[in-house]
Amino acid sequence: MDMMTAVKVSEKIRTKALGCEEYMTYVVDRIDRLNPTLNAIVAMLDGDDLIALARKADTDLARGHYQGWLHGMPHAVKDLSNVAGFVTSFGSPIFADTVAQADDVFVSRIRSEGAIFIGKTNVPEFGLGSQSYNPVYGATGNAFDASLTAGGSSGGAAVALATGMLPVADGSDMMGSLRNPAAYNNVVGFRPSLGRVPKDKQELFFDQLPIEGPMGRTVEDVICLFETMAGADAGSPLSQQPAPASLSQYKKADLSDVRIGWLGSYDGHLAFDPGVISLCEKALEQTAAAGGRVEAIRIPFDYDSLWKTWLTLRHWLVANSRRGLYANENHRRQLKSELIWEIEQAANVTAADVYDAGVNRSNWFRVLNEAFVKYDILALPSAQAFPFSLDQHWPTSVGGRTMDTYHRWMEVTIGATLSGCPVISLPAGFDDSTASDGGKDGNAKRAMGIQFIAPIGKDRELLEFALAYQDSNNWFDAYPADDIF
């Protein structure tokens, strides 16, 4: 069986051209063969039990009970979100045996479309850092070279997609956690506009930096999962409910009508590995050749102040959400050093600092809005470094510049996050050079993505642009062969 798109699998199941049991057997077999090396899916149910659930889905379909576009299809939820009956570990030994009693809102929507939950996808501990390793399940290897990182925090989801262990996947994004692993594994990661996917956390008003969103091998797959996950919920006061749309209502953008502003390195403010910028510019050249209007631009802003704003808000939100763990001496001993650092840095953050950060964030939003008067889309690389060794927690140097925090090398993602605008990471291609940090056989195939940002609320327009980009930048033939491992 070919590694079909989720949309194609869904249609074949709906028309009974493909049985749920047949497809589940195929997926379980792939997981059995590939996951021991890659470690993308964790806390998985027994394969025989999953095949029995798929057989029941076939019976339901034969009786006319069709649940939705995910009917009988396997799904694994990122291990930062709750699925009733499954452990939500957050990659932490503190929660390694904590079984969720109910679904998160977006998970319940995926369930209502007929998905069969098979397990969870691996993450960094508490989602901190763009390298998916933790003391509970270990590290997730890159889909193209298991000795390199998958990125994070949606690393398990991205690898499972790229290798056909899942048809489609959910993820979440605070500092590029949908975008970075999508870039590193040649898949699509979409962070929707603020409020499009309802929040289902303890604090519902202030904590608006992380957002759940869809991932897929194609833009069409991402659109379908986005329409499932999105929409207002009574328990999420800042959530939005635009009119729902089906995939057939999305129309590929005419690239000649799209004005793209290429931000590059923010005039040298951001450091990049050699080859990242040129690879993204090559992808833009292909988009321009297909009709898109691309122009290198500069947005005047104090980027050092934007980084300070990011640190203030991140320290404040991360520390306050986990301060109870830090206060417990036994728990504190089990926390990763990056979380302890965030909490201890937050001790120096005042109420005035948080307010000032909010003002500067608002100013950044206004500056982007001014840019969107002239440009429909703004573009940046999805990451500053190519995939690095799985043994390295984070790059200490990028482009010859020292990284002063564990996440400074992902600074390129904070602009979209702070704006609340929708942003999508699309594959840009592969590095031509060999990995310098121990890739397989010294010849790693290292992927990179390019992120496109649209005005807030223009999620559909951004996805329609992505459909057109997909036509001009075919990435499908690059998925890893079964024998790569």
- Of 414, 377, 410, the closest CA to residue 262 belongs to 377
pLDDT category of residue 100 using cuts at 50, 70 and 90: very high
Question: What number of other Cβ atoms are within 10 A of residue 97's Cβ?
Answer: 9
| CA distance readout (Å), 209 to 170, 324, 426, 467 | 17, 21, 21, 26
pLDDT exceeds cutoff 70 at 433: no
Residue 477 has pLDDT above 80, yes or no: no
In a domain, 311, yes or no: no
207-238, pLDDT tens digit by residue? 899 999 999 999 999 999 999 999 999 999 99
Is residue 365 situated within a structural domain? no
What share of the chain has pLDDT > 70, as a percent? Answer: 96
- pLDDT tens for each residue of 374-410: 999 999 999 999 999 999 999 999 999 999 999 999 9
Higher pLDDT, 108 or 445: 108
pLDDT at 17 over 60: yes
- 429 pLDDT more than 90: yes
Domain total in the chain? 1
Q: CB-based burial of residue 185 (10 Å sphere; 0-12 exposed, 13-18 middle, 19+ buried)?
A: buried
Does 482 or 292 have the greater pLDDT score?
292
Q: Per the domain annotation, does 447 fall within a domain?
A: yes
Q: What pLDDT sits at residue 435?
A: 44
Amino acid 482: pLDDT: 56
What is the rounded average pLDDT of the residues 277-290?
A: 97
439 — pLDDT class (breaks 50, 70, 90): very low
Q: Say what percent of the chain tops pLDDT 90.
A: 92
At 19-70, the pLDDT tens digits run 999 999 999 999 999 999 999 999 999 999 999 999 999 999 999 999 999 9
Least confident of 200-209, 265-274, 376-385, 473-482: 473-482
Cβ contacts of residue 370 below 8 Å, gap of 6+? none
Note the pLDDT of residue 438. 40
Average pLDDT value for the chain: 95
Residue at 360: amino acid letter? N
CA-nearest of 450, 473, 108 to 288 is: 473
Task: Examine the pLDDT at 242 and tell me if it is beyond 90.
Answer: no
424 inside domain: yes
- Is the pLDDT at 442 greater than 70? The verdict is no
User: In this structure, what are the phi and psi dihedrals at residue 77, rounded to the nearest 5 degrees?
Assistant: -90, 140
Assigned domain for 334 exists: no
Prediction pTM value:
0.96
What number is the average pLDDT over the span 288-312?
A: 97
Res 466: pLDDT:
98
Mean pLDDT for 243-259 is: 95
How far does the chain reach from its first CA to its final CA, in angstroms? 19
CA-nearest of 45, 46, 42, 69 to 57 is 69
- pLDDT tens digits for range 27-41: 999 999 999 999 999
Q: How many residues does the chain have?
A: 485
pLDDT in the model for residue 436:
42
Instruction: For 319-354, write each residue's pLDDT tens digit.
Output: 999 999 999 999 999 999 999 999 999 999 999 999
pLDDT at 163 over 90: yes
Distance CA 467, CA 416 (A): 20
Q: How many CB atoms lie within 10 A of CB 33?
A: 13
Q: What is the mean pLDDT of residues 434-455?
A: 72
Residue 218 covered by a domain: yes
Determine, yes or no, domain membership for 321: no
pLDDT of residue 1: 62
Range of the domain at 235: 6-297+375-484
**CATH classification of the domain holding 264:** 3.90.1300.10
Between CA 86 and CA 91 the distance in angstroms is: 13
For residue 2, pLDDT beyond 80: no
Measured CA to CA in angstroms, residue 24 lies from 29, 218, 221, 370 at distances of: 8, 20, 18, 49
Q: Is residue 347 part of a domain?
A: no
Q: Which pLDDT band, with edges at 50, 70 and 90, does 478 fall under? A: confident
Q: Region 119-147: what's the mean pLDDT? A: 98
Neighbours of 244 (CB within 10 A): 10
